[in-house]
Amino acid sequence: MAETWTNEQIIADALGRGADVQIGARDNSWRLSRWRQFVGTYELPALPDPTFVVHIAGKPQVRTRLHEGWSETSSIPGCATILPSGRPSGWLVDGELDVVTLSIASRDLHGAPAADQFRTLRFAFADPLGVALTRQILAELYAPQDDARKLYVSTLADALTAHMLRGPLAANDTAFPTSDFSAHRLHQVMNAVLARPGDDHPIEALAAMTGLTPSHFCRVFKRATKFTPHQYVMKARIERAQDMLTATDLTVSQISDEMGFASQSHFTRAFRGLTGSTPGAWRQQNRH
């Protein structure tokens, strides 16, 4: 009998390179991998298990193939995608790509509350908790390893898997008002913030993208994302700053300026408020 390839073996074969890092549960209920790839068009054969994908870093120009061609919407850092099993897919990457994949054993979907969401492609959606768990797993993976840290990483991955099986999209799908607003327009606003978090994003400008009044836009945005527009912008800035602290040699002051903060002290207060750490301490703990 021919050997059945895992998701990771199929992805590695399609990309022409293996994962940067890969871990998995002892019972094979999940496998988490980080992949870095560059500009190009990639055809991915059908995978045996459904996959949760988090766009960690890189250029904000990743599209997927739809029946009518490439998707109009792009995946950008901070977005998540669900790739179902048994479905070939195409990907257009315009620049460096950095993603994490979480393969979930198909057997575990039977009876899971979120089983339906793994049957179709769900591209470039917002899942703050899933993305946050993924980033924390990566931070721990690249730190010096001991038995306690390995257990912690495994527990985080179990939590991410449980989060997916529970159904992170259930609340968000019903949170979009349908009479005068669309998920597509809200997604455009989120993409604009994530693409350039350091820019000014006044409420009036964001609301204008949706055709709503500022006060109505704020209510709709909070209902759909659980964040106020200001909180979402600040979160996007801090997440981008985290990437810059670990991946660049820019000073904290330079990163503060790049991310649009009025002062370094303001940046430090906001960073500590969201991460529990100062920018300098974060860089020391997470840079390798």
pLDDT in tens, 181-229: 455 677 778 888 888 899 999 888 888 777 777 888 888 888 877 889 9
Say how far apart CA 136 and CA 247 lie, in whole Å: 16
Say how far apart CA 21 and CA 26 lie, in whole Å: 16
pLDDT in tens, 235-246: 999 999 998 998
Those residues whose C-beta lies under 8 Å from the C-beta of residue 70, and which sit 6 or more positions away, are 63, 64, 92
pLDDT on residue 173: 40
Task: Return phi, psi of residue 70, to 5°.
Answer: -75, 145
- 122-126 and 69-70 strand pairing: unpaired
Tell me: pLDDT of 172 over 50.
Answer: no
pLDDT on residue 150: 86
Higher model confidence: residue 182 or residue 119? 119
pTM: 0.59
Residue recorded with tokens 């495994």? 154
Tokens of 202: 């006044």
Categorize the per-residue pLDDT at 59 as very low, low, confident or very high, splitting at 50, 70 and 90. low
Tell me: pLDDT of 72 over 90.
Answer: no
Those residues whose C-beta lies under 8 Å from the C-beta of residue 57, and which sit 6 or more positions away, are 77, 96, 98, 243, 247
CA Rg value for the chain: 19
pLDDT in tens, 254-279: 999 999 999 999 999 999 998 899 99
Q: Are 7 and 49 in contact (CB under 8 A)?
A: yes
Mean pLDDT of the chain: 84
Structural domains of the chain ordered from first start: 7-128+137-171 (2.60.120.10), 176-286 (1.10.10.60)
